[in-house]
Amino acid sequence: MLVTDIFVTNIFQRNDCNQHFWKERFISGLPSFFAERVINKLKDYSGGQPIPWNTITYGQLFAFVKKQGHKSTECKMKKKINEIFQDQPDIQEKLTKLLISESEISEETDSDYLINEIENSSDSSSESQELSDNLCNCKTINVITKETDKQFLLDIIDKIDDPEIKK
């Protein structure tokens, strides 16, 4: 997430980067609805008590923020699916559900990586940005983890006649 990368870059250059108020300030700088959701999750995490900013690590904080959503209105992948399978609405629906389902699965696993992902983000951000720009404005790359979903997609790809689209 671009906001996280910029924040980490700017804050960690400061001598007072370990002060807990930077964590709270980062959350308050997010869009209000999103910030409210993150605050609520942090309150749940702390058992309904005031948020312990001094004990929450940057990794934990970014794990709450890093979860990405899928904006279907901006998705080039969904438009392409609809274009290719315009006469097969059942396949359109299945592929769209698969796309959204895999987004949710990858969202759940994001929190497992915590600080490691932040440390590695500067190395791979340009590569992943380049890849995701070609597929979807939502800036995520989905990985298919279920064998049945993989087979379903391979079967659908086999049905495509145009070799250029099939690539």
Span 15-24, pLDDT tens digits: 887 787 888 8
User: According to the model, what pLDDT value does residue 101 have?
Assistant: 57
Considering the domain boundaries, does residue 114 fall inside one? no
Rounded CA-CA distance 96/104 in Å is 13
| 75 shares its domain with 54 | no
Rounded CA-CA distance 33/38 in Å is 9
Considering the domain boundaries, does residue 104 fall inside one? yes
> Which residue shows structure tokens 């559900």?
97
Considering the domain boundaries, does residue 115 fall inside one? no
CA distances in angstroms from 156 to 17, 82, 135, listed in the order given:
51, 13, 18
Considering the domain boundaries, does residue 117 fall inside one? no
Residue 14 makes CB contacts below 8 A (sequence gap 6+) with 22
| 48 shares its domain with 77 | no
Produce one character per residue of 50-83: b if its CB has 16 or more CB atoms within 10 Å, e if not.
ebebeebebbbbbbbbbbeebeeeebebbeebee
Q: Identify the CA nearest to 78 among candidates 100, 108, 106, 104.
A: 100
User: According to the model, what pLDDT value does residue 56 have?
Assistant: 83
Considering the domain boundaries, does residue 116 fall inside one? no
Considering the domain boundaries, does residue 50 fall inside one? yes
The one-digit pLDDT tens for each residue of the chain (167 residues) are 455 667 777 777 888 877 878 888 888 877 777 788 888 888 888 888 888 888 888 777 777 766 555 454 556 677 777 777 788 878 777 777 776 655 444 444 443 433 344 344 434 444 444 434 444 445 555 566 677 777 777 777 777 777 777 66
User: According to the model, what pLDDT value does residue 34 have?
Assistant: 77
Quick check: 156 and 95 in contact, CB under 8 A? yes
User: According to the model, what pLDDT value does residue 75 have?
Assistant: 65
Q: Domain limits at 79? A: 69-109+123-167
| 54 shares its domain with 134 | no
| 90 shares its domain with 167 | yes
Rounded CA-CA distance 55/63 in Å is 15
pTM of the model: 0.38
Domain count, the chain: 2
Amino acid occupying residue 144: I
